[in-house]
């Protein structure tokens, strides 16, 4: 691929000394380093993926880095969001991230966008940058990024991680040589929000693996070195430390792009032997059909979401029938881990984060370990996580239930 950014003026002695290992690198050299220095990159999300992306792009010598995030640092972020420290808890993530990056690479210009990216403001925020790195944690943001970047002709390096699994790809509506492809071309229309790291967890070093790979892809696009993952989906499985590559086809005749017909059975086989379809709908089938993936990364499956993420559950009003304890048995304890206290009459409320921290309500502590517990929430996502936590703590008869939907 041709270089995407024109090189800046000559690098000074200090910059050349810092970038010495790049200047010695075969196929990289001074011209590529000067292109990095001239590059303007905006990263959506300063969390589990944004942390390694931002650190490596700053260290690599990218001239300007924008950070988009409207969240604050919480203690539970520190397990994987390595840009932030204990002292940063309660601070705005863009501010915390900017301070860390300036300490790492003082010559890099850091721009903090302390706001949520939406369809209304996306184009205005992304304009003026050369490339977008999307490490966001909701479908709403991801589709807003894709639409705005397509209008502006910007390449998007995208990644996601959930549980043990991750994915990376490069999308670019203005890619040369007929290689144009966008996120919706592969994943279809925007789905409802679904599972997240807050409901099913995530292996912290997996964020580093996926985020570092995203940084590599960004450097290749900006400098014209190597072969970026444009038209390819890289699927990572931390359980085996293996990567699979799924070839993607650009949209043809207005059809939604899908996994290429070149995808072979050996590439597509999964632990249960399933092989994906290769039709125009393949990009929107069940997660078992792509190796190394989970339902989190295929938006049109029943449960969906991604990486280093905190996607909200859709609010709903629990029905009286759903809130009822089984058979009216007084020995059953109903534990509500939903988003709002008091949503289920007669239930004991607990925050999922408190259960993970080992802080249990007195009613639960007094409940015998072999008596039934029904864990509920609005959509059944947080309740599944609650069920897993309680079973790990010794309660033996635990089930989970969705209240609506």
Tokens of 398: 């635990």
The pLDDT of residue 199: 63
**CA–CA distance, 34 with 15 (Å, rounded to integer):** 10
- Which of the pair, 75 or 392, is modelled with greater confidence? 75
Residue 129: pLDDT over 60: yes
Q: Which of 234-248, 323-337, 369-383, 387-401 has the highest mean pLDDT?
A: 234-248
Average pLDDT, the chain: 79
Residue 311: pLDDT over 70: no
CB-facing half-sphere around the CA of 77: CA atoms within 13 A: 28
The pLDDT of residue 196: 63
- Give the model confidence (pLDDT) of 186-241 as tens digits: 988 887 776 666 667 889 999 999 999 999 999 999 999 999 999 999 999 999 99
Lowest-pLDDT choice from 244-248, 312-316, 357-361:
312-316
- Which of the pair, 128 or 293, is modelled with greater confidence? 128
- Which of the pair, 138 or 157, is modelled with greater confidence? 157
Average pLDDT over residues 77-100: 94
Look at phi and psi of residue 318 and say left if phi exceeds 0, alpha if psi is from -120 to 50, else beta: beta
- Which of the pair, 111 or 401, is modelled with greater confidence? 111
CATH superfamily placement of domain 13-247? NAD(P)-binding Rossmann-like Domain (3.40.50.720)
pTM over 0.75: no
The pLDDT of residue 252: 60
The pLDDT of residue 388: 82
- Give the model confidence (pLDDT) of 252-306 as tens digits: 644 433 333 322 222 232 222 222 222 223 333 223 223 333 333 333 322 233 3
**CA–CA distance, 276 with 299 (Å, rounded to integer):** 16
Lowest-pLDDT choice from 163-172, 205-214, 389-398:
389-398
The pLDDT of residue 59: 96
Average pLDDT over residues 323-327: 42
Paired residues of 43 in beta bridges: 67, 133
CB-based contacts of 142, cutoff 8 Å, min separation 6:
134, 136, 158, 183
Percent of the chain with pLDDT over 70: 78
- Which of the pair, 138 or 219, is modelled with greater confidence? 219
Listed in order, the ranges of the chain carrying CATH 3.40.250.10 are: 320-402
* 320-402 carries CATH number 3.40.250.10: yes
Q: What are the phi and psi torsion angles at 287 (to 5°)? A: -65, -30
Listed in order, the ranges of the chain carrying CATH 3.40.50.720 are: 13-247
Name the pLDDT band for 115 (thresholds 50, 70, 90): very high
- Which of the pair, 177 or 288, is modelled with greater confidence? 177
**CA–CA distance, 62 with 84 (Å, rounded to integer):** 20
The pLDDT of residue 377: 85
Average pLDDT over residues 118-145: 94
The pLDDT of residue 134: 96
**CA–CA distance, 162 with 138 (Å, rounded to integer):** 12
- Which of the pair, 267 or 392, is modelled with greater confidence? 392
Residue 32: pLDDT over 90: yes
Average pLDDT over residues 29-37: 92
Name the pLDDT band for 251 (thresholds 50, 70, 90): low
Residue 324: pLDDT over 50: no
Lowest-pLDDT choice from 111-115, 177-181, 226-230, 270-274:
270-274
């Amino acid at each position: 691929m041709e270089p995407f950014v024109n090189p800046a003026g000559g690098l000074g002695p200090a910059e050349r000394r810092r970038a010495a290992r790049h200047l010695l690198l075969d196929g990289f050299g001074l011209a590529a380093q000067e292109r990095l220095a001239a590059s303007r990159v905006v990263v959506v999300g300063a969390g589990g993926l944004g942390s390694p992306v931002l650190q490596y792009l700053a260290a690599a010598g990218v001239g300007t880095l924008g950070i988009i995030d409207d969240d604050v640092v919480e203690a539970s972020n520190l397990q994987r969001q390595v840009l932030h420290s204990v002292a940063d808890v309660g601070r705005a993530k863009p501010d915390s991230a900017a301070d860390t990056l300036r300490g790492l690479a003082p010559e890099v210009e850091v721009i903090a966008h302390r706001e949520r990216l939406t369809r209304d403001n996306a184009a205005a925020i992304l304009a003026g940058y050369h490339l977008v790195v999307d490490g966001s944690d909701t479908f709403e943001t991801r589709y807003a990024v894709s639409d705005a970047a397509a209008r502006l002709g910007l390449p998007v390096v995208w990644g996601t991680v959930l549980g043990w699994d991750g994915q990376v790809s490069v999308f670019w509506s203005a890619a040369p040589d007929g290689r144009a492809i966008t996120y919706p071309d592969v994943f279809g229309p925007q789905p409802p929000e679904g599972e997240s790291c807050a409901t099913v967890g995530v292996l912290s070093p997996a964020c580093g693996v996926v985020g570092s790979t995203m940084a590599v892809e960004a450097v290749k696009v900006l400098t014209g070195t190597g072969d970026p993952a444009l038209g390819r989906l890289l699927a990572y499985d931390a359980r085996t430390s293996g990567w699979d590559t799924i070839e993607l086809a650009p949209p043809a005749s207005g059809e939604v792009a899908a996994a290429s017909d070149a995808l072979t059975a050996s590439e597509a086989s999964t632990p249960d032997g399933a092989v994906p379809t290769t039709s125009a709908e393949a990009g929107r089938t069940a997660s078992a059909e792509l190796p190394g993936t989970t339902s989190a990364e295929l938006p049109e499956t029943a449960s969906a979401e991604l990486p280093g993420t905190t996607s909200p559950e859709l609010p709903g009003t629990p029905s009286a029938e759903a809130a009822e304890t089984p058979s009216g048995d007084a020995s059953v304890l109903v534990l509500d881990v939903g988003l709002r206290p008091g949503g289920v009459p007669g239930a004991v409320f607990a925050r999922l984060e408190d259960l993970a921290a080992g802080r249990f309500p007195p009613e639960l502590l007094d409940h015998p370990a072999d008596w039934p517990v029904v864990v509920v929430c609005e959509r059944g996502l947080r309740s599944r996580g609650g069920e897993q936590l309680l079973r790990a703590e010794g309660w033996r008869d635990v089930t989970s239930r969705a209240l609506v939907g």
